[in-house]
Amino acid sequence: MKPRTLKLEVNEMSTETMWEKVLQRDAAADGRFVYAVRSTHIYCRPTCPSKRPNREQVEFFANPKEAEQKGYRACRRCAPKTENIASHVARICRELTDDYKGLSPEDIAAREGLALRRLNQIFRTVLGVTVREYLASHKLEDFKSKLKTSQDVTGSMYDAGFGSPSRLYEKSDAVLGMTPASYGRGGRGAHIAFGIRDSEIGHILIAATEKGVCTISFGDNAKKLESDLRKEFHAAEITRNDDAVEQYLDAIAAHIEGNEFLTSIPIDIHATAFQAKVWQLLRNTKPGETLTYSGLAAKLGAPSASRAVARACASNRVAIAIPCHRVVAASGDLSGYRWGVERKRQLLQRERKQVV
């Protein structure tokens, strides 16, 4: 493949704009391009502290690899080859829809001029997953997006890059919960039983498939909880059957009332690779324990991914079973909670009393 030329649509800026950012040593431009000096045969990052060269001696490249293909060597002062890792990962993720589409982790590492082990370290630091895990998640998200639009399972499967139905179902079983066809059609073909019970912190609704619990939610209005469930899985066969989910209702209610801590219950929910890792860490926390978003990110080996951790917590649909109520802001504030901050406060208070 020929090296990419630096296009306006790739960097969303002209060469003169890039030159202005070099003059300003704009940190926001770091990772978006490098500039090279013909007279010295050296390339630098936009924030390099060295003296600025004459404009006529400068040319721009999308990344260090392209500069080196033109014969330039990296500046020792600003070390442009050690790209800002967040920008590095973001660029690779963007290129998965273009130059890198369909490539294996090994191919991507080779294109980046890195060992796969090093590229995996970079991905874990930023996203908390390996390149292969990210590619699998990306491919499934692409499939899900296409399926929602076309409703054609086979066509969406091949368009997303799955070579066979067995490969799709092998991957989706771990992260989609329901089958691919069911997901794209609002749960079509899925059989869901649900029950509702009053508790000290409001109504509890629990819904489950034959694989496990797919929803645990709280609210002040039981009819609203049922309505939300039916909207989420609008094409599934949904039946109220309190007996079918009684064991789950009993377990959640006992936890809320302070009689016993919740032990692990089977869940059947949609998750990306990153969400699954965040949620598993949460399930490993102990009652009364709290973590910050940044602390969770650090445990994942991705200290810069605190916002992604927060989004994963906000996406949780099974309250208490995945105890996202145990995550607080760095300041100690309770911050947001899908089912209300006051419920979060009560859950934490009850757990703390139990462990005293």
| Active site (catalytic) residues | 44, 324
β-pair partners for 196? 205
Q: Which helix (H) or strand (E) holds 35?
A: strand 34-37
Residue type, 27: A
Token output for 72: 């330039």
Angle between helices 273-283 and 131-150 (to 10 degrees): 110
**Chain CA centroid to CA 305, Å:** 9
The helix, strand and coil proportions of the chain, stated in percent and rounded to the nearest 5, come to 45, 15, 40
Tokens 């070390």 sit on residue:
79
321, 216 contact by CB (below 8 A): yes
Pairing of β 291-292 and β 327-328:
parallel
41, 70 contact by CB (below 8 A): no
C-alpha to C-alpha distance for 172 and 166, rounded to whole angstroms: 10
> Which are the contacts of 96, defined by CB distance < 8 A and separation ≥ 6?
135, 138
